[in-house]
Amino acid sequence: MKIHSVLIVIENPTDPKDESWTRWREMLKTLESIRTRTKEIEKFSENVWLLPLQNNLRVLNELLHETDDFRLKYRVLFLKKKPQWIRSHQEPT
């Protein structure tokens, strides 16, 4: 089965008193570092990323490995085709 991309959702803690919140803040630095090296990544919010898999399996592995290292929960949705977005308005041409 050929996969076009993956949508990664990392569960971000909301309580600053929670130990996982500190780990999450540190993980954000790592995520941004990965993103600056991989221009194809689309960031929808701090914790939601779309990663095309063409030549990026290493990046996917790195993202999931880092998330595991920080002991954060995540979900991955595999997309067979390029996402067909419905936009709220026309983009400039």
What count of residues does the chain have? 93
Number of domains in the chain: 1
How far apart are the C-alpha atoms of 67 and 88, rounded to whole Å?
Answer: 32
pTM: 0.80
The pLDDT value recorded for residue 56 is 77
pLDDT at 91 over 70: no
- The enclosing domain of 65 has a CATH number of 3.30.70
Give the single-character DSSP code of 70: T
Separation of alpha carbons 57 and 87, rounded Å? 28
* 71 is a domain residue: yes
Q: What is the pLDDT of residues 24-57, one digit of tens each?
A: 888 888 888 888 888 888 989 989 999 998 877 8
Residue-wise pLDDT for 55-82, tens only, equals 778 888 988 998 898 888 999 999 999 8
Task: Classify residue 49: in a domain, yes or no.
Answer: yes
